[in-house]
Amino acid sequence: NAGVTQTPKFQVLKTGQSMTLQCAQDMNHNSMYWYRQDPGMGLRLIYYSASEGTTDKGEVPNGYNVSRLNKREFSLRLESAAPSQTSVYFCASNNRAYVNQPQHFGDGTRLSIL
């Protein structure tokens, strides 16, 4: 019963390097989300995909791009990593076609940018 799977779990990058964070869900959900969590703060929405083929900006999209590869997979790309992007990144999914659908989260990717 995997749910939402994120890879990698940890990563250290140098400033200016690029990287793609992967997320896959096996719950047949139509909507997927990327959040970041910084110390002392709640999770903040970076980008989301309401359905396959669509993506929209969230609260903090600058410096990121996303791809909804298919219904299962939603990736987050940092083109030129900056120290301010050091954070824990969480992917989530839900079935937005119905009401009162909680989002289910992966265990996160801990990213450090030096």
Partner 1 sequence: DQQVKQNSPSLSVQEGRISILNCDYTNSMFDYFLWYKKYPAEGPTFLISISSIKDKNEDGRFTVFLNKSAKHLSLHIVPSQPGDSAVYFCAASEETSGSRLTFGEGTQLTVNP
Q: Where on the chain is the footprint of partner 1 (CB under 8 A)?
A: 4, 31, 33, 35, 40-45, 48, 50, 58-59, 90, 92, 94, 96-108
The nearest distance, CB 49 to partner 1, in angstroms, is 10
CB nearer to partner 1: pick between 31 and 85: 31
Q: Compute φ and ψ for 77, nearest 5 degrees.
A: -120, 135
Identify which of residues 62 and 102 has a Cβ nearer to partner 1 in the complex: 102
The tokens of 47 are what?
Answer: 């980008």
Could you give the count of Cα atoms lying within 13 Å of 86 in the half-sphere of its Cβ?
10
Nearest to partner 1 of 17, 110 (CB atom)? 110
Phi, psi of 104 (to 5 degrees): -110, 135
- Residue 42 makes CB contacts below 8 A (sequence gap 6+) with none
Distance in Å, CB of 16 to partner 1, minimum: 28
